């Protein structure tokens, strides 16, 4: 069976193909995250029990309150681990990072808050009847190996190499703090990422075209800048000059 792929067309017109994570990768990432959240929940319960046994607390109403608090924190850790971390890490929990995977939209971009919330709300259905049977069956039957939550949110899990994942992280961070429009940030970052894979004439032409659009007053010097200088100007535009 051929490996399922997600093909994304970048703003520079270059197609990027990402392998879609199958049920095995999904299960591995889930087990890693499940162990972390289970240990976190058990840690809260252990702390509550130990505090309850301290001299001066044992046998008092405070001991019962500590136990209830520990149980509440344990439940919160267990059930909120996945949605909170997906939001904080922009679609790459510790389990996903360990498995070399991440959540992206069908366009290959980082999912927004709404999409991540939707896919986590649907966990209530994907987890039925036990052990994520519904979600696992959906992953095996759908073309992109997605569970119901991904179908509803328009997301997919892809496998990414460490360098590609780091590039996506840098792009997301740059887009959040940069004054350039998101499309412009993606355009410049994509061109720099693919710089060495493009023919010299092609990348120089693209660089000039981008800089003319984004950098006021660039037209006067466009014909005089060599290829290395063009790259430095693009890096400076993103605040990434070496």
Q: Which residue has the tokens 């590039």?
A: 167
Per residue in 160-209, pLDDT (tens digit) is 865 555 555 555 555 444 456 666 777 888 888 889 888 888 888 888 88
Q: Is 232 exposed, middle or buried (0-12, 13-18, 19+ CB in 10 A)?
A: middle
* Percent share of the chain, pLDDT over 70: 81
d(CA 142, CA 42): 35
pLDDT computed for residue 10 by the predictor: 55
Residue with the larger pLDDT of the pair 221 and 44: 44
Cβ contact 4:20 at 8 Å: yes
Given a cut of 60, whether residue 28 has pLDDT beyond it is yes
CA distance 232 to 222: 13
Residue 197, classed as helix, strand or coil, is helix
The predicted-structure confidence for 130-146, as pLDDT tens digits, reads as follows 888 999 999 989 988 89
How far is residue 60 CA from its own chain's centroid? 46
Of 37-51, 100-114, 177-191, give the range with the top mean pLDDT.
Answer: 37-51
pLDDT of residue 14: 56
| Mean pLDDT to the nearest integer, 6-13 | 63
Q: How far apart are CA 99 and CA 157, in angstroms?
A: 11
The pLDDT assigned to 157 comes to 94
- Averaged pLDDT, 155-162: 84
Distance CA 200, CA 187 (A): 18
Q: Give 182 or 10, the one with higher predicted confidence.
A: 182
The answer, yes or no, to whether residue 221 has pLDDT greater than 80, is no
Give the per-residue pLDDT at 170.
53
List the structure tokens of 91: 């679609």
240's CB contacts (< 8 A; 6+ apart) are 174, 192
137/139 Cα distance (integer angstroms): 5
Can you say whether the dihedral through the CA atoms of 27, 33, 36, 38 is positive or negative? negative
User: Given this model, what pLDDT does residue 222 score?
Assistant: 59
Domain locations in the chain as residue ranges: 16-159, 162-237
Band of pLDDT at residue 77, cut at 50, 70 and 90:
very high
pLDDT at residue 74 tops 90: yes
Confidence class of residue 241 from pLDDT cuts 50, 70 and 90?
very low
Instruction: Say what the pLDDT of residue 208 is.
Output: 84
């Amino acid at each position: 069976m051929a490996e399922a792929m997600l093909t994304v067309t970048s703003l520079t017109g270059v197609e990027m193909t990402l392998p879609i994570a199958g049920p095995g990768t999904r299960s591995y990432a889930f087990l890693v995250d499940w162990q972390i959240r289970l240990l976190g929940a058990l840690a809260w319960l252990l702390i509550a029990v130990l505090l309850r046994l301290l001299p001066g607390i044992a046998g008092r109403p405070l001991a019962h309150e500590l136990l209830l608090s520990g149980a509440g924190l344990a439940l919160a850790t267990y059930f909120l681990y996945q949605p909170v971390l997906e939001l904080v890490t922009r679609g790459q929990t510790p389990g996903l990072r360990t498995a070399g995977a991440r959540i992206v939209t069908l366009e290959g971009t980082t999912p927004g808050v709404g999409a991540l919330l939707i896919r986590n709300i649907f966990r209530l259905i994907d987890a039925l009847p036990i052990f994520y049977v519904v979600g696992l069956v959906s992953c095996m039957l759908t073309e992109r190996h997605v569970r119901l939550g991904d179908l509803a949110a328009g997301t997919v899990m892809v496998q990414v190499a460490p360098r590609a994942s780091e590039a996506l992280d840098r792009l997301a961070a740059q887009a959040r703090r940069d004054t350039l429009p998101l499309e412009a940030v993606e355009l410049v970052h994509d061109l720099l990422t693919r710089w060495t894979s493009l023919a010299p004439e092609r990348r120089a032409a693209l660089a000039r075209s981008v800089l003319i659009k984004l950098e006021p007053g660039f037209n006067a010097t466009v014909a005089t800048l060599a290829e290395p200088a063009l790259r430095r100007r693009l890096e400076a535009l993103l605040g990434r000059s070496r």
